[in-house]
Structure 1
Amino acid sequence: MSAAANGRTAPLTRQGVQISARGFSWQHAERARPAIAGLDVHIPAGQKVLLLGPSGAGKSTLLHALAGVLEVDEEAGPRGQLLVGGQDAFARSFPVGLMQQDPETQVVQSRVGDDVAFGAENLGVEPQEIRARIPQALQAVGLGALGYEHRTQELSGGQKQRLALAGILAMRPGLMLLDEPTANIDPQSIPPLRDAVIDAVESTGATLIVVEHRLEAWARHVDRVLVLAPGGGIAHDLHPDALVSDEELRAELARAGVWIPGYVPQTSPVPQASGAPMLHAEQLVCARGGQVVRTAPASFEVTAGSALVIRGENGAGKSTLALTLGGLLEPVSGQFAASGQLADGLLPSPFSWKAGALVARIGSVFQEPEHQFVTQTVREELAFAPLRAKRGAAEELKYDARQVEARVQELLVRLGLQDLAEANPFTLSGGEKRRLSVATVLAASPDVLILDEPTFGQDANTWRELAQLLIEQLAGSTAIIAVTHDEHFAAALGAHELVLAPAQAASGRPSSAPMLDAPVGDSWLAKINPLAKFGAIAGATLPLISTVDWVSAAVVIAATLLMLPLAGLGIGAFFRRGWPLLVAGVLAAWGIALVGQDSGRVLLDLGIFDITEGSVAGGIATGLRALAMAVPMVLLLSTTNPSDLGGALSQQLKVPHRFVLGALAGMRLLGLMVEEFTTLTLARRARGIGNLGTVRQRVGAKLGQLLALLVQAIRRAGRLATTMEAKGFGTGQRTWIRTATFTRRDGAVLAAGILLGAAAITAAIWAGTYNLIW
Structure 2
Amino acid sequence: MSSALEPRTEARTRQGLSISAKNFGWQHAERAVPAISGLNVEIPAGQKVLVLGPSGAGKSTLLYALAGVLEIDEEAAPSGELLVGGKNAFDRSFPVGLMQQDPETQIVQSRVGDDVAFGAENLGVDPQLIRERIPRALEAVGLGALDYEHRTQELSGGQKQRLALAGIMAMGPGLMLLDEPTANIDPQSIPPLRDAVINAAQSSGATLIVVEHRLEAWAKHVDRVLVLEPGGGLAHDLTPQALFDDEQIRAELAQAGVWVPGYVPRTRSQLRTPGAAKLTAKDLVCARGEHAVRTAPASLTVASGAAVVIRGENGAGKSTLALTLGGLLEPVAGELQASSELADGLAAGPFSWKAGALVARIGSVFQEPEHQFVTQSVREELAFAPLRAKRGSGDELKYDPAQVDARVDELLTRLRLQDLAEANPFTLSGGEKRRLSVATVLAASPDVVILDEPTFGQDANTWRELAQLLIEELESSTAVVAVTHDEDFAKALGAQQIELAPATGISGVRGSAGPMLDAPVADSWLAKINPLAKLGAIAGATLPLISTMDWVSATVVIAAALCALPLAGLGIGAFFKRGWPLLAAGLMAAWGIALVGEDSGAVLLNIGIFQITEGSVAGGVATGLRALAMAVPMVLLLSTTNPSDLGGALSQQLKVPHRFVLGALAGMRLLGLMVEEFTTLTLARRARGVGNLGTMRQRVKAKAGQLLALLVQGIRRAGRLATTMEAKGFGTGERTWIRTVSFTFRDGAVLAAGILLGVAALGIAMWAGTYNLVW
> TM-score per shorter chain, which class?
over 0.9
Matched to 2:565, the amino acid is L
Aligned to 1:635: 636
Q: Which amino acid aligns with 2:99?
A: M
Question: Aligned pair 1:772/2:773, yes or no?
Answer: yes
Which letter does structure 2 place at the counterpart of 1:253?
Answer: L
| 1:642-691 per-position Cα deviation (integer Å, ceiling 9, x unaligned) | 00000000000111111111111111111111111111011000000001
AA of the residue aligned to 2:216: E
Q: TM-score, normalised by structure 2?
A: 0.98
1:727 and 1:11 map into 2 onto residues whose CA distance is: 20
Equivalent residue letter for 1:570: G
Moved more, 28-37 or 415-424: 28-37
- 2:316–2:502: 8 Å Cα contact kept in structure 1? yes
Query: Equivalent residues in 2 for 1:731-746 (5 A)?
Result: 731-746=732-747
How far 1:745 moved relative to its partner? 0.4
> 312-321 or 593-602, which moves further after superposition?
593-602
- What is the aligned-residue RMSD (CA, Å)? 1.3
Counterpart of 2:386 in structure 1 is 386
CA contact (8 A) 2:518 2:641 kept: no
Per the alignment, residue 555 of structure 1 pairs with 556
Match of 2:315 in 1: 315
The match for 2:431 is 431
CA contact 2:284–2:335 (8 Å) conserved in 1 = yes
Q: What is the match of residue 601 of structure 1?
A: 602
Letter in 2 for 1:214: R
User: AA paired with 2:690?
Assistant: I
Question: Hey, what's the Cα distance between the residues in 2 that align with 1:771 and 1:688?
Answer: 58
Residue pair 1:355, 1:685 contacting (<8 A) in 2 also? yes
State the distance in 1 between where 2:471 and 2:362 align. Answer: 17
Distance change >3 Å, CA 168–CA 658, structure 1 → 2: same
Structure-1 separation of matches of 2:528 and 2:519:
14
Q: 1:228 — aligned with what?
A: 228
In 1, Cα distance between equivalents of 2:75 and 2:440: 34
* Contact 2:554/2:625 (8 A) holds in 1: yes
- Give, in angstroms, the shift of residue 420 of structure 1: 0.2
Partner in structure 1 of residue 402 of structure 2 = 402
Contact 2:8–2:126 (CA under 8 A) maintained in structure 1: no
For residues 502-550 of structure 1, the C-alpha deviation after alignment (integer angstroms, 9 at most, x for no partner) is 2122341222221122453210000000000000000000000000111
Q: Distance in 2 between matches of 1:180 and 1:759?
A: 61
SS at match of 1:292: coil
Residue aligning to 1:763: 764
Secondary structure of the 1:604 match is strand
- CA separation in 2, counterparts of 1:100 and 1:294? 28
Give the letter for the 2:286 counterpart: C
SS of corresponding position for 1:337: strand
Partner Cα distance (1:746, 1:496) in 2? 60
Tell me what 1:690 maps to. 691
How big is the shift at 1:609?
1.8
Q: Give the Cα separation in 2 of the matches to 1:584 and 1:663.
A: 24
Aligned to 1:105: 105
2:175–2:207 Cα contact (<8 Å) kept: yes
Distance in 2, matches of 1:752 and 1:624, equals: 21
- Letter in structure 2 aligned against 1:527: K
The equivalent residue for 1:706 is 707
**Shift in alpha-carbon separation, 1:528–1:47, aligned structure 2, 3 A:** same
- In 2: Cα distance, 1:123 partner to 1:417 partner: 42
Deviations, residues 752-774 of structure 1 (Å, cap 9, x unaligned)? 00000011111111111111011
Structure 1 ranges of 4+ moved more than 6 A: none
Name the CA distance, whole Å, in 2 between partners of 1:274 and 1:69: 50
The aligned residue for residue 571 of structure 1 is 572
**What displacement does 1:3 show?**
4.0
Whole-angstrom distance in 1 between the partners of 2:195 and 2:166 = 13
Displacement of 1:154 in angstroms is: 1.3
Secondary structure at 1:97's aligned position in 2? strand
Shift of 1:2: 7.5
Residues 379-388 or 134-143, more deviating? 134-143
Aligned to 2:730: 729
Residue aligning to 1:718: 719
Name the residue aligned to 1:615: 616
Query: Residue deviations 1:610-646, cap 9 Å, x none?
Result: 2111111111111000100111111100000000000
Is contact 1:291-1:317 (8 Å) kept? no
Match of 1:754 in 2: 755
Contact 1:10 1:125 in 2 (8 A): no
Q: Where in structure 1 are there 5+ consecutive unaligned residues?
A: none
1:362 to partner: Cα distance: 0.7
Distance 1:512 1:710 in 2: 27
How far apart are the structure 2 equivalents of 1:563 and 1:532? 15
Q: Is the Cα–Cα contact under 8 Å of residues 223 and 240 in structure 1 kept in the other structure?
A: yes
Q: 71-80 vs 150-159, which deviates more?
A: 71-80
Which one-letter code corresponds to 2:24 in the other structure?
F
In the other structure, the counterpart of 1:54 is: 54
Distance 2:159 2:266 in 1: 32
Deviation at 1:500, TM superposition (A): 1.4
Q: For the Cα contact (< 8 Å) 1:293–1:321, is it kept in 2?
A: no
Match of 1:525 in 2: 526
Q: Which stretch of structure 1 is more off in the superposition, 68-77 or 445-454?
A: 68-77
Amino acid at match of 1:750: L
Q: Secondary structure at the match of 2:710?
A: helix
Contact 2:5–2:95 under 8 Å retained in 1: no
Aligned to 1:625: 626
Matches within 5 A, 1:159-198: 159-198=159-198
Contact 1:557 1:631 in 2 (8 A): yes
Structure 1 residues 625, 726: CA separation in 2 closer, same or farther (over 3 Å shift)?
A: same
Structure-1 separation of matches of 2:572 and 2:393 = 47
Is this contact kept in 2: 1:523–1:568, CA < 8 A?
Answer: yes
Structure 1 position 24 matched with structure 2 position 13: no
Preserved CA contact (<8 Å) 2:294 2:505: no
C-alpha deviation, 1:6, in angstroms: 4.5
Asked if the contact 2:281–2:335 (Cα under 8 Å) also holds between the matched residues in 1, the reply is yes
- 1:605 Cα deviation after fit: 2.2
* Count of residues in correspondence between the two structures: 773
Q: 1:203 is matched with which residue?
A: 203
| CA 4–553 in structure 1, closer or farther in 2 if over 3 Å, else same | farther
Partner of 1:665: 666
TM-score (norm 1): 0.98
Deviation of residue 74 (structure 1)? 4.8
Alpha-carbon distance in structure 2 between the residues aligned to 1:476 and 1:735: 61
1:345 aligns with 2:345: yes
The CA deviation at 1:193 is 0.4
User: Secondary structure at the residue paired with 1:390?
Assistant: coil
**1:482 aligned partner:** 482
Q: Report the CA distance between 1:137 and its aligned residue.
A: 0.9
| SS in structure 2 at match of 1:61 | helix
- Change in Cα spacing, 1:754 to 1:209, as seen in structure 2 (3 Å) is same
Distance 1:401 1:439 in 2: 17
Q: Deviations over 1:552-585 (max 9, x none)?
A: 0000001001100000010000001111111111
Aligned with 1:730: secondary structure?
coil
CA-CA distance at 1:13 after TM superposition: 3.0
State the one-letter code of the partner of 2:680: T
Match of 1:748, as an amino acid? A
Displacement after TM superposition at 1:12 (Å): 6.0
Q: Is the 8 A contact 1:374 1:708 kept in 2?
A: yes
Query: What does 1:65-144 align with in structure 2 at a 5 Å threshold?
Result: 65-74=65-74, 76-144=76-144
Check 1:291–1:499 CA distance in 2 against 1; reply closer, same or farther (3 A cut). farther
**In the alignment, what sits opposite 2:646?**
645
Distance 2:296 2:613 in 1: 60
User: Which stretch has the larger CA shift, 604-613 or 386-395?
Assistant: 604-613
Partner of 2:367: 367
Q: Distance in 2 between matches of 1:709 and 1:308?
A: 32
Aligned equivalent of 1:300: 300
Quote the Cα distance in structure 2 between the aligned partners of 1:48 and 1:301: 46
